Amino acid sequence: MPSDIVLRTYALGKRYKERWAVRTLNLEVPRGEVFGFLGPNGAGKSTTIRMLLSLVTPSEGRVELFGLELHKHRHDVLSRVGGLVERADFYPYLSARRNLEIVASLIGGLQHHAIDEVLELVGLLQRAEDRVKTYSHGMKQRLGIAQALLGNPELIILDEPTTGLDPQGIKEVRELVGRLSSERALTVFLSSHLLSEIEQTATSMAIINMGELVVQGKVTELLSTGESFVKIDARPFEETRTLIGQQRFVKSVKHINGILEVSMPLDQVGTLNRLLVHAGIEVHSLIPRRSLEDYFLSITEGTTDIR
């Protein structure tokens, strides 16, 4: 019976001279899920992905895919994995089809229709014979996903696939990732530096910062655990504070630079808003926040050192 965990790392680490890019990383990616790998730029996401795909040799620890150690079973393991590492780079003087044929030759060769199928999936079949140098960035990213899908992998690893795309391109890639997971029962390992992207796409997630794992688990659980609060900017100030403080669902109220920070369940935000408006209070802004989101924002802004 296949394991429920398709990817597992054991104390994985990579050191460049004296600097640890990744250290003691223990990840578990459940089968069939979209796993978000979140971290600010320079957190060690790409280094981790390079180790998962055998581009970089770990300095410590090991990678296990489908229950097999990557180092010892490289061929068997990578036959079941597709990947797109950072920007999608191809041979610009060759057609998209020829580029995919090159990738297919490294898998052992694929039928013509298999290449057509992945090109169709990413909406590039009509442009298959065009040279890649005529492609836009978004088309190259889609072609990057197409090559990752060659050989019907069970797991695809995508490293920030939406980077540099316009909003429409981002939407298309997100929808494609969702379709791959639901229709093809693929496990998707998706790295991003945007919490919103992971929130919208992933079912499980891990956060990495400064090369170390911060937290991992189900997206819904991680985003619901911990304190939730609402930042409120309303006038008159004292009246607002008094009214809010009288509500049963409110745990505490803090005053920070003219903004009220109200600790409360997020499902009561609508109720609170209605109360304030009915009381004739002028609400300038009302921003629901979760501690994880704030925490992630703080590390991405470089204001918190998690060590």
Partner 1 sequence: MLLILKHELLKTYLKWRTYIGFIAILVLVPVAEVALKLEGGSMIQRMTRGIDEDFLLVGNLFNGYFVTQFIMNALWVHIPFLISLVAGDQLAGEATGGTFRLLLIRPASRGRILLTKYITTLFYAFTLVVFLALVSLGLGLTLFGSGPLLVMGKTFTIVAANELAWRMALAFGLATFSMWCVASLAFLFSSLVENAIGPIIGTMAVIITMLIISNIPVEVFRSIRPYFFTHYLTIWQKALDDPIPWKTIGNHLAIIGAHCIGFYIITWYIFVRKDILS
Task: Select the residue interacting with partner 1 from 78, 210, 222, 272 (CB under 8 A).
Answer: 78
The yes or no reply on residue 164 touching partner 1 (CB under 8 A) is: no
What is the C-alpha separation between 281 and 285, in angstroms, rounded? 12
Of 102-110, 117-125, 258-266, 287-295, which part binds partner 1 (CB under 8 A)?
102-110
81 near 156, Cβ under 8 Å? yes
CB of 189 to partner 1, least distance (A): 13
The 10 Å Cβ neighbour count of residue 76 is: 12
What is the C-alpha separation between 81 and 46, in angstroms, rounded? 16
Q: In the sheet where 282-290 sits, what is the strand order?
A: 252-256, 259-263, 228-235, 282-290
Of 103-111, 117-125, 240-248, 266-274, which part binds partner 1 (CB under 8 A)?
103-111
The yes or no reply on residue 79 touching partner 1 (CB under 8 A) is: yes
**Identity of the residue numbered 113:** H
CB of 94 to partner 1, least distance (A): 6
What is the C-alpha separation between 215 and 38, in angstroms, rounded? 10
What is the C-alpha separation between 252 and 250, in angstroms, rounded? 6
Binding mask 192-211 for partner 1 (x = CB under 8 A): --------------------
The yes or no reply on residue 81 touching partner 1 (CB under 8 A) is: yes
Residues 262-301 binding partner 1 (CB under 8 A) are none
Q: Angle 218-290-202 (CA atoms, 0-180°, nearest 5)? A: 30
Read off the tokens for 135.
């492609």
Residues 49-68 binding partner 1 (CB under 8 A) are 50, 53-57
Of 105-113, 209-217, 247-255, 259-267, which part binds partner 1 (CB under 8 A)?
105-113
Q: Please say which residue, 90 or 296, places its beta carbon nearer to partner 1.
A: 90
Total number of residues that touch partner 1 (CB under 8 A): 33
The yes or no reply on residue 83 touching partner 1 (CB under 8 A) is: yes
Q: Give Cα 15 distance to the centre of its chain.
A: 24
What is the C-alpha separation between 5 and 190, in angstroms, rounded? 16
Task: Select the residue interacting with partner 1 from 15, 98, 184, 289 (CB under 8 A).
Answer: 98
The yes or no reply on residue 103 touching partner 1 (CB under 8 A) is: yes
What is the C-alpha separation between 126 and 108, in angstroms, rounded? 25
Read off the tokens for 247.
């509500």
Cis amide leading into 236 (omega within 30): yes
Q: Please say which residue, 160 or 223, places its beta carbon nearer to partner 1.
A: 160
Task: Select the residue interacting with partner 1 from 5, 94, 125, 275 (CB under 8 A).
Answer: 94
Q: Please say which residue, 148 or 208, places its beta carbon nearer to partner 1.
A: 148
Catalog residues that contact partner 1 under the rule CB under 8 A.
50, 53-57, 74-76, 78-79, 81, 83, 85-87, 89-94, 98-99, 101-103, 105-109, 147
